[in-house]
Each structure stands twice: as structure tokens, then as C-alpha cells.
Structure 1
């Protein structure tokens, strides 16, 4: 079933055996603000009938990927190990990633312990098997093609079937069923005899990296004692999923996922499908609770995993430990928000907190950021960036005012219960009149970390206070997000990289641009007509379409 808004945009995708019972429950919800907001925003509900629960799960996952509905889960890891992925493209790529994001995945391998080792391995495999590394296929071959490190599908002369043969070899290597060592040793020997010492050194290093990779695989190996423990704790607002990795019966790492949810069954099925459907190594063994097992049981055929419910012994103790972790984390965060409301005398329980920051140097390349924390957790999909448009020169107060005016003019954005400003009384007074009275307003002064409220009351919290740590965390995240956007806007290196990724824009065009411009803003300020005289109409159209999208993303 699909909840749609007045414009027909998909807000939420779910599945149920009993559609009437499931959907009706949303309209009776009294505690979960996310559910209440979904009900308020929707204008229509569509439904699709499938032949089985497995078919429903796969369709649900495909619809979520297609529409990216705002009310479906957005998992946030506090820490992750890297994976190797083979992309699902006409000419696939091999990538080392920490988060899959919007990538379309053909196969996924991992997780692995050493990120640098994994990056080196991916580079070696890409060179040995001559795989493409460019994000978008260019029309002009790059240096890797010239030095025979890539087959060059960008030329249009590479047969897809031939390219996929190399991908098949890669998959065999990643499964541990094939090794390139004999071929590499032969090439190293041949290069050395021809006195091509640079090539010989490359093959020598490749052998070492591949050997290191084989020894470092952690979850692929089906060794005794390798398993995962998964526990979930949830209340009416939020869920915490704990995943613990055990290798040779030793705890390697604990990863925590925090998420708002609409329906617990949808949450679990989406989580397991997203996590394990593209996994292509040995079958994973997962220990979890009876409750989770019953939810996932109908979908096991879709996943390359074996789920067990431990009844006694060490595995049961590990599951109980993971569950304690999840319950404690969930309880602690809920408690901080209620304590924050009492201690700072807020009107509202601060379920949604927004924080803003400005980044610039003497007024140049000025940008603003907005970060969002919901139920005490980051909600990074709701972060927003702002390019300062009206204010010239160094005036942080006026810039902050511009950002907040633009933010609160967006009636389609969810309202916060509280707003945090980085600064003291001056920053607070400069924006207090434009933030609705119904919203709690706080600022945090640098150095002494004093909290001010809308009425300029001072609140002193101990350095160990969980409330202060949460506010500091929100403030620091806003600062980080603003700085990253600022660097992007004025960095010539970043501009070069972004332009090279555009289809239809080659090295020569980028060189012409870089001789005349050094940042996003310098291109925008010069205007489209001037850019056209430098690189031509077709290329300038491509670049301005890209810049227009960037401007939209920057609000």
C-alpha cells in the first residue's frame, strides 16, 4: 500500500496481509508523531495485490528505491566497516564503500576490517582486470585507457559480453574460487626480463595486496565461530537495532542503527532485505530473538542467511547482551529529551530540534546550514544547505537572519519543537522575532558553553550533563555541515572533480573553465553568456543545468 500526498508524491510504502487492519491502525495512533504526520499529510492511499509475502517484500523494496518516500526508514549507522560492491550497470564498477546510499548494487562483499587495504585491493583489481572507474561514461578516453589500465567502454568499441567476462573473473576471486597469482607472477617475471621495472614493481605490489586481502576477509570466510547477533528495542516513536559481529567467537565490533518507524514488521523486513539481499559470500549465520525470527521467516528464501534463535549457552548470553545495549540506548535518549524540557523550561518536548550555522571568510562564499535531530538522533536526510544571496560583506547576524527567514517561509517543511543557534545573546536577539513563538529558542555561547533561552535567561549545565552534550553535538554537527558546504563552494579542486563527472564534459573543456574560474560562485557570478564564449553553447548548457541543480539543493 502507498500513502500519497495531494500532488501524487509517494510518502510511505508498506505491506500487510490484512490491509484494512494495518492501515486503520494508523488513524488510531495517538503517540507516534511520525504516524500522525503521515496521516495528516496524505490525501490518497493506493494498493497493489501480490501473490506471496516474498513478492510483496521485493515489490516494496523496489518501490522504496524508486520513490525514496520520506516516511520510510532511513538507517543511520554510528559506525560501519567498509564493503566491496560491484555496481549494477551496463559496464559495472568495483567500489569500496562504507554506505551503499543510492548505488545500484549487483553484488556486495564484506564487511572488512581495514579500509585502506580494501581501497588498495579495489585499485589493483580495477587495473589488472581493466575495469572502468569513472562515475559517468565519458565520450573521450581518460589516462587509464591510454596506459592500458581500462578497457575503455567510453569509446563505444568495447563489447559488453567481453567486459562482463572480466566481472565474472572478479566475482570468482571475491568468492575465493580463483586467484590471479600465477598470471601476475608470470607478468612480473616478463616485465623484469624486459627491464620494465616500473611494471614489474606494480605486479609485485599487486601480489602483496591480494595476499593481504585474502588474509583479511572477515565475514566471507565460513570459519567456525563466525556469526552475527541482531537485537532490536523499540518504543512508540523509535527503534534501535544492534548488530554485533563475531569472528572466531570473538566480538569484533558493534554497530548501532537508529530509526524512526511507521510499522515494526515493515522496518524489520526492509532492514534485512537491504542488508542481505545482495550479499554473495558464504551463507551468514545470524542469532536473534524469536520475535524477530517470526517477522523475517516468510522472507528467508530471498536472503542468503541462516537465522537461529539461541535457547541456552553463550549464544543466548550474547543475544541478551545485545538486547540490553539496544534497550539502554533507547531509554537513555528518551530520558535526555524529557530532562531537557524540564531543566531548560521548554514549552515542548523537543522531539525535532533544528540548528543553524554560517560559514564564510570575510563575507565571501557565505553559506548556511540547517541540521535536524529527531528524538535525539541525527536525521541527515532532512539537512538543508543555503547559499547566502542577499547579504554582502561580513555580517554573520544578517546572514543567520536570512537563512532562518528562508527556512520558515517553507511551509511544506516540518516545524521543529526547538531551534538551537550557535552564539550568545547577540545572535539570539537577531533572530528571535522571526522564529514563531510556539517554537522553543535556545543559543549556546562559545567558550563557556552557556545556554540562553528566548527570554535571555542563562542556563549553566555541568560539563558531564547529557543535555549539554546533546546540544553541543547538534551545534558541532551544524558547524561541520556548514564548513563542508563552504569548502565545496570555493574549492577549485572539488569543482574540477565535479565537472569531470558530467556526461559530455571532457578534460579539455574543464581545463578551459579552470583557467577562467576557480569556484562554483565565480562561474555563477560571471553568467552563462560569458561561459558560452569560452566553451561553447552545448557544454555551457550542461554545466548550467548542473549548477542550477546545485542551487536548488542549496535552497
Structure 2
């Protein structure tokens, strides 16, 4: 625990201008970001007697080891910079909203040649038009099913679409009139895109003109005695009206507004947002957060507005209704107006329909908080108990809030790789995962590999700890950093987010028994690191091994601590296996196709993308190879002859799991998107 007086700025050193400040811990990690219209009084308030501070604020200032600030011209700039830094550094003591559940959205993929209507979750993609979010996926599908009668846009997957084009027959929706069947050429790409754009216009609320146009066409068809066409148009109008009825009118005058409500207690808060467009509730969203800083309702509202509109994925409406106004409110209102390009009315509803609707949003927020606390209580208690059981079993001074686990993977001694996974507070932190290539030697020597990879990880930690003002960037990293920088762009300054191996764990876990633990301990001793606890988890009997001990620590099978260690070990194993299989796949591809005359990198990738695996590529005929764009008959004959002359290798067995890996088998997808980790070289 640090004494705040040791890093308190000198009297008069803090400016009185607007600005943004950062507190860092002893490892240089940013733990809190804040803004102020006058930096001097705000920062001075943190350095008063600890007894006068909020408990969470006191914890923050005693965890920090330094404070720094950046002066800006206006409070609006301070608001923008604060949001950018919170997103970049992910400080542990700032309010961090997370979705209380995964909300589905209706998406139209306008970035494709033949746009597709589908239900999507997660991050927004460029070129895709989104509507929602909705409370339930079935509500989207009911609406889409009604609208497909009028706007027969394709809803099939790319695989089904491709198959229909190959066989020349549409799917069932094409036969029953709920798809225009562009796969078989019933409509041109331009006509199908026009249908998709009309669908988007209708979903966006521009319904009146379209309905009036259909009614005029129905009357004209009836006057011309085209009764079948008139009846079809009548049914289309009825389907559109039923779809519109699913979004009841809640506000008059075609109001566009977002309503935000907050329900909170001393520890947590829930935020609910209703999106009203054209007077109708078009979507709903909810977040929950731990109140890790001393913040009131107005502060929660300000953070929620930053979360909602700061990323640019959500458009700002004319009105934003909130339960409490941020203090001061002018910078937030100016920031929202700048995002919209027009004046935004940020206010508290006082009377009428908007106040009644706000009460409904408030009830939803209160219900969300109650439901979250019911679910979270057991999870939080279980994680805390698991960490405490590990600390007791290993006789640690404190619970291991950061756990790192290493695993070695290879295939019969080839393509040796290692993985490092990180768990913080009992939860996986995938952005901190790292992976290593072991190139110094080949062979089934897990002990030597473990010694090397642990040594490399902590050598990098020592290097980065010695850095003053800039953080080291690996010489060879896979792909760009999260902000688009590549390693050759040079090391980051102290303003950049520290990456790679900057933070040590409280507990280091290795996958293995006594030999692997001894190798890891030897690597730590060689570097002079004695403040990191170490253990190994052997697969055979799930025994926990400690350095220098002849007997293992046996945790009860029902122990939450043992379950957490198993999860950490299994995640490290999964991550290592995925990386090793990817390397093997690349190696096999290079061995099979690189030697084919006249086949360059572009056409190799086109073949693999088209067929999906080498196994299917070997089985392809010359005519099927010619169907790949860029592959002529002469090249197809060369490829077919080259692949048919080689016999497939015998099934390979993974020594880590004992499983047979077939050539060309589909690789398991990661559990969640992962950032490009380190690919070090010796």
C-alpha cells in the first residue's frame, strides 16, 4: 500500500486549467482516468486525509504510485479525451459498463453484392445497416417473416446461397415467394439491392409514403380489373400494417428520442435505454456496472452517454432524456450536438407522455439490477472462495488476483509452441494472452521448452520494468497493434498503453508435474525473481505441485480452488493447441502447393478459400478447379496432377492429447475474439 504523500505534486505545480488526469500504479499501469474543469482543486482533493475519502477512492490513491495530467482548451475536449483514455487504458477503478445480456439486432449486409437480412449480435461491422437492438430474437424473426412478403430479400447463409447457384435451384423461400431468388437469376443484383434498400427505409420508419404508394397501385389494379394483382397488393399492405403494429406508438409527433434510466445501490448500478424513433420504441439496451469509484447518479449518466455515443455506432437523436443532468451539463450537451451536427436537447422530462415512458424505463432498470444481483451473487462469491482456497492451499500471503498459466504443445516433436493465458479476479482476460514459438530446438522436451518460455516471459518483464518513459515493443509481433500501429512504427511513449509483459502475476501455474515446476523455478531463480508464487497442475490425478516439495498438494475434488486451476490450465491448453494446429496447417499448405509450377500466392489462397481444406482440394476434378476465379484449365490440370501424384500422409497423433488430427480437418474456433498476441523468436 503506497502513501499518497510520496507522489503528491508540489504546491502550485498543478494548473487551474481544464484537463484530464491519470493515476498509475507501481508498474506504470493506468488505474484511474478523470477530468476536471479546474485540475488544481480536483487533484488536491485526492491528497487529503484518507479518513475523509470514500473507501473506494482511498483504495485507489493508495494503490497508485504516480499522477500525471494533460491540459486541454475546453471542457468538451476534456470529455472527449477522458472517453478516449478510458477506452484505451481500461482502468480498473473507472466505471465500466457491460451489457447485462447479449441483445440481438436486425442487420442488412449492404456491403455484399446480394444483401442479406439476418439476426446479428456483437460488435457492428462496416457497411452493415443495423436496426434495434431488440429484446428477443424471435421478435425480429416474426417481423422479418411479415416483411419478406413485400420485400423478398435473401435471408439464407452464404453457404446455402452458393449451393443454390451451383445446382441452379432456389431454396424453399424462393418457391413460396419470400425470396426474390437472386441465386438463380430471377432478379438482377441491382433489383435485389433496391429491395434491400426499400426494406431498410421501411424499418427506419419511412412507412407512410410506401403504404400510400401500394394503396394507389392497388386502386389502379382494381380499376383495370386486375383483381389478382390488387388482392396481392392488399395482402402486402396488411402484412406491413401488422409489422408496424408490433412497435406501438408511445410518443406523439413522430418523436426521435433516447430515454435513459438508472437504478443503483451502494455497490452496483444498472442502466436501461429505450430508443424511440418516429414515436415508436425501436430498440432497448441495458448495462450493469460495479461502482468501483465514488460516483452519483449524474456521474453514472455522463459515463453512460459516453459509452452509448462515444464509439460512433449509435446515432444521436434530437432529444436525450435522462433522470439527472451531468454537472456541468453544457460540455456534455455541446459534445452530443457536435456528434449529431445539430442541437441536441439533453434534459429531464417533467410531465406528460415522456415522463410516463421514463417511469417505464426506470422500472426496467430496477428489474435488471435485481435480476443481475440474483445471478451475480453466486458467481462473485464462488470466485472469491476459489481464490481464497488457492491462497490457503499454497500458503500465499494474499489471494492471487492475477494468475498466469503456461502450456507447451507440439505434434510428435514438430512445431513446438507455448501459450500464456491470464486470469484476473478469477475471470479470463483474453487481451493479455500471449503465444510463443520455440525455434531453438525440436523434439519432445517439454521441460526444456518450459524453462525457455518462462525465462523469455520474465526477461521481457524485467526489460519493460526498467523502461522509463517508453515501453518495449517486441521485434517480431503478429500483425498490427489494437490501435493500428505495427511493431516497426517504433516503441510507444509513456502516453501509449503499456503492452506485452509489463505486469507480473501473483501466481504462476505450469501445466505439468515436478519436472515442469522445477524448470520454471530455475528460470525464475536465474533472473532473480522471488516474489512470484509458482505451482504446477498435473493432469493424471489433478495434483498441485510446489517447487522443492516431494509430495503434491491434493485439493478436494469439490474444491472451487481446484476447479479454477483446472479452468486456467484447460484454457492454456486450448490456446496452445489452436496455435499449434494453425502452424501445422500453414506448413502443410506450403509443402503441398508451393512447389506447384505457375501457382502464386494469390491463386493458392483462392484455391484454399474455395475448397476449404487440402483434403477437398485433392478430391476436386479439373472442371471444379477451373470454377475457381483466376484458375485456367492448364493451371487446373497442373494442380490436379501435382496433388494426385502425392499420397496423403498418415494420420498424425497429437502427443499432448492422444487424438488423431486428420489432414484438412476444421480447426476449432477460439472461444472469443483474441487480440494478436506475441510471436517471439529466440
Structure 2: how far apart are the matches of 1:495 and 1:117?
42
Conserved 8 A contact 1:355-1:420: yes
User: How far off its partner does 1:24 sit?
Assistant: 4.7
Query: Partner residue of 2:391?
Result: 341
Cα 1:267–1:365 shift into 2, 3 Å? farther
Shift of 1:372: 1.4
What SS class does the counterpart of residue 350 from structure 1 fall into? Answer: coil
Q: CA deviation at 1:438?
A: 0.9
> Which among 268, 282, 306 is matched to residue 273 of structure 1?
306
Tell me how far 1:26 sits from its aligned partner.
Answer: 6.2
Q: 1:83 aligns with which of 98, 101, 105?
A: 105
The answer to whether the 8 A contact 2:22-2:30 is kept is yes
Do 1:130 and 1:151's aligned partners in 2 also have CA atoms closer than 8 Å?
A: no
2:635 pairs with 1:510: no
Contact 1:451–1:458 (8 Å) recurs in 2: yes
1:450 aligned onto 2:473: no
Please give the per-residue CA displacement for 1:414-467, whole angstroms capped at 9, x wherever unaligned. 011111122222322221222332101122222432222234353222333222
Q: What is the distance in 2 between the residues matched to 1:2 and 1:163?
A: 52
Q: Deviations over 1:151-206 (max 9, x none)?
A: 99xxxxx9xxx9999886454343465599999xx9xxxxxxxxxxxxxxxxxxxx
* Cα distance in 2, alignment partners of residues 21 and 103 from structure 1: 43
Closer, same or farther in 2 for the Cα pair 1:357/1:241, shift >3 Å? farther
Gaps of at least 5 residues in structure 2 are 1-19, 159-180, 218-235, 252-258, 275-283, 334-343, 348-353, 465-501, 591-599, 615-634, 636-674
Matched residue SS, 2:523: coil
Does residue 439 of the first structure (1) align with residue 532 of the second (2)? yes
**Matched residue, 1:385:** 435
Cα distance between partner residues in 2 of 1:282 and 1:444 = 54
Checking the alignment, whether the CA contact within 8 Å between 1:261 and 1:267 is kept in structure 2 is no
Matched, 1:46 2:70: yes
Please state whether the residue corresponding to 2:522 is helix, strand or coil.
Answer: coil
Q: Distance in 2 between matches of 1:309 and 1:494?
A: 62
Which residue of structure 2 lines up, in the alignment, with residue 194 of structure 1?
Answer: none
Deviation at 1:315, TM superposition (A): 7.7
DSSP-derived class of the 2:460 partner: coil
Shift of 1:278: 4.1
Counterpart-to-counterpart distance in 2, 1:88 and 1:32: 47
1:406 and 2:439 correspond: no
Match of 1:415 in 2: 504
For 1:25 and 1:495, the matched residues in 2 are separated by: 62
Q: For residues 77 and 311 of structure 1, what CA distance do their matches in structure 2 show? A: 16
Q: Is the 8 A contact 1:242 1:325 kept in 2?
A: no
2:540 & 2:248 partners in 1: Cα distance? 50
Greater Rg over alpha carbons, structure: 2
1:88-136 deviation per Cα after TM superposition (whole angstroms, max 9, x unaligned) = 99x9998865332897998563146449987x979x99x97799x99xx
Q: Does 1:474 align with 2:568?
A: yes
Q: Does 2:438 align with 1:367?
A: no
What is the correspondence of 1:456-495 to structure 2 with a 5 Å cutoff? 456=549, 457-491=551-585
Residues 151 and 294 (structure 1 numbering): CA distance in 2 closer, same or farther, change over 3 Å? farther
Q: TM-score, normalised by structure 1?
A: 0.57
Give the structure 1 partner of residue 515 of structure 2: 426
How far apart are the structure 2 equivalents of 1:467 and 1:400? 24
CA 1:93/1:407 → structure 2, altered by over 3 Å: closer, same or farther? farther
Matched, 1:554 2:679: yes
Across the two proteins, how many residue pairs are aligned to each other?
A: 446
Deviation at 1:511, TM superposition (A): 3.8
Distance 1:312 1:63, change over 3 A: closer
SS at 2:505's partner residue?
A: coil
Q: In 1, distance between residues paired with 2:363 and 2:23?
A: 48
Deviations 1:378-415 (A, max 9, x none): 22221222223223123223222222222112223101
Shift of 1:146: 11
- Whole-angstrom CA distance in 2 between matches of 1:105 and 1:64: 27
Partner of 1:99: 122
Q: 1:315 to 1:432 in 2, by over 3 A?
A: closer
Q: Distance in 1 between matches of 2:33 and 2:187?
A: 41
Q: Per-residue CA shift, 1:73-95, capped at 9, x if unaligned?
A: 77666962443568999x99988
2:201 to 150, 172, 175: 172
> Where do 5+ consecutive residues of structure 1 fail to align?
135-143, 153-157, 187-206, 247-252, 497-504, 520-533, 535-549
Q: What is the CA–CA distance in structure 2 between the aligned matches of 1:27 and 1:178, rounded to whole Å?
A: 59
Task: Quote the Cα distance in structure 1 between the aligned partners of 2:75 and 2:193.
Answer: 34
- Correspondence list, 1:303-342, <5 A: 319-320=369-370, 322-323=372-373, 325-326=375-376, 329-330=379-380, 332-342=382-392
Contact 1:82 1:115 in 2 (8 A): no
CA distance in structure 2 between the aligned counterparts of 1:422 and 1:334, rounded to whole angstroms: 23
Distance in 2 (alpha carbons) for counterparts of 1:401 and 1:487: 22
Distance 1:506 1:295 in 2: 56
User: In structure 2, which of residues 15, 36, 40 is the aligned counterpart of residue 16 of structure 1?
Assistant: 36
- CA distance change for structure 1 residues 513 and 311 in 2, over 3 Å: closer, same or farther? closer
Distance 1:167 1:296 in 2: 44
